[in-house]
Chain A
Amino acid sequence: AHIAEDNSDLLQHVKFQSSNFENILTWDSRLEDTSGMVYSIEYKMYGEAEWLAKEGCQRITQKSCDLTAETGNYMEFYYARVIAVSAGGRSATKMTDRFNPIRHTTIKPPEVTCIPKVRSIQMIVHPTPTPIHARDGHRLTLEDIYDLSYCLELHVNDTYQMHLGGKQREYEFFSLTPDTEFLGTITMDAHQLSKQSAPYVCRVKTLPDRTWT
């Protein structure tokens, strides 16, 4: 009887690492020495019969491959797999879990400009571009994809917080003490999908009040 060779040591942790819809396939090996090992990547949409070879990731030696373009329909469900071949001719194939970009991608901190004034701090949130293009070719932002709202917190001398939030881009915290340092944290919340970005943090000091000098 033919005993199947166990080559599972060649490949492990085959998965997508995705943030802001940049979808990178990564994997590693349990072998100490992987010199001479080559990897070939295939992908497909869930429900398709054919596996498609990823150009540029055939017989590569590094342990990652950028599949952003190939997984560009963020509502869809994808699989990818790695075929590893060792110098001695042993081989193994491993597949990812089912990957759904809109759910799996993590959201990076937003881009924010914090502008201190004498008795207020203005915060402007900038749109976050993604690598995804709409049919007409323009690049989509996270705001195009998710029903995003922004949550802004201003920490006042570590005792309490001021909160602002909503879908607009410009906010201002008023009635602050001049010449005082504040810590601001701004996150993006895709409430429906229980997703929240990592916080953008800005530490700013209100300007001195020179009105009476």
Chain B
Amino acid sequence: GQEFRFGPCQVKGVMLRELQEAFWAVKDTVQAQDNITSVRLLQQEVLQNVSDAESCYLIYAMLKFYLNTVFKNYHNRTVEFRIMKSSSSLANNFIVIMSQLQPSQEDEMLSISESAHRRFLLFRGAFRQLDIEAALIKAFGELDILLAWMEKFYQ
């Protein structure tokens, strides 16, 4: 079957298509709630030209943030059934990915992990500049940007 290869990190048991379809089912509804069109959390500096070696660190940090902060708080705010269902499907597949990611902790990888961390801090910094409600909606609405980037590592 197909799998993710984030550099040395290999992830099986996730159908990228299922994730995309889960998000696409609610994309317009969610993105319509985000009326700050002049701010983008996942800017090009966060996701562009990410090396293979960096990608495992970056995806680990991103998914951890989405699971701990975005889905958790967004879950509490949405009662619309379709969004709950899509959010659950995405979150549970992110759990499957996270459970298989083991970014190397070796010293020679320090500079690479720090580079990935700077990219993540750019994203989180933009998130924290917004009011929490707006930030959650925007982060959830940008999942298509994250999924499009993850697709590059799907084989």
Chain A residues close to B by CB (< 8 Å): 44, 46-49, 75, 77, 79, 95, 97-98, 100, 102-103, 191-194
Give the size of the chain B interface in residues (CB under 8 angstroms): 20
Output the least CB separation between B65 and chain A (Å): 19
The answer to whether A47 and B43 touch (CB under 8 A), given A98-B31, A192-B151, is: yes
* A193 close to B38 (CB less than 8 A): no
A93 to B17, CA, bound (A): 35
The answer to whether A48 and B38 touch (CB under 8 A), given A97-B32, A98-B31, is: yes
A97 to B43, CA, bound (A): 19
Output the least CB separation between A111 and chain B (Å): 27
- Check if B148 is an interface residue, CB within 8 A of chain A: yes
* A97 close to B21 (CB less than 8 A): no
Chain B residues close to A by CB (< 8 Å): 16-17, 20-21, 24, 27-28, 31-32, 37-40, 43, 141, 144-145, 148, 151, 154
* A79 CB contacts on chain B under 8 angstroms: 37
* B27 CB contacts on chain A under 8 angstroms: 97-98
The answer to whether A103 and B154 touch (CB under 8 A), given A46-B37, A47-B40, is: no
Output the least CB separation between B92 and chain A (Å): 20
Within the complex, which residue of A47, A49, A75, A95 is in contact with B148, where a contact is CB–CB below 8 Å? A75
* B37 close to A194 (CB less than 8 A): no
* B24 CB contacts on chain A under 8 angstroms: 103
* B39 CB contacts on chain A under 8 angstroms: 47
* B31 CB contacts on chain A under 8 angstroms: 97-98
A79 to B27, CA, bound (A): 14
Which chain A residue lies CB-closest to B38?
A: A49
Output the least CB separation between B5 and chain A (Å): 14
Q: A47-B39, A98-B31 are in contact. List 14 more A-B contacts (CB 8 A).
A: A44-B37, A47-B37, A49-B38, A75-B148, A77-B40, A79-B37, A95-B37, A97-B28, A102-B148, A103-B148, A192-B16, A192-B151, A192-B154, A194-B17
A193 to B144, CA, bound (A): 11
**Nearest 3 pairs between A and B by C-beta?**
A47-B40, A49-B38, A98-B31
A100 to B141, CA, bound (A): 13
Output the least CB separation between A135 and chain B (Å): 16
A95 to B36, CA, bound (A): 12
Which chain A residue lies CB-closest to B149?
A: A75
A47 to B34, CA, bound (A): 12
* B40 CB contacts on chain A under 8 angstroms: 46-47, 77
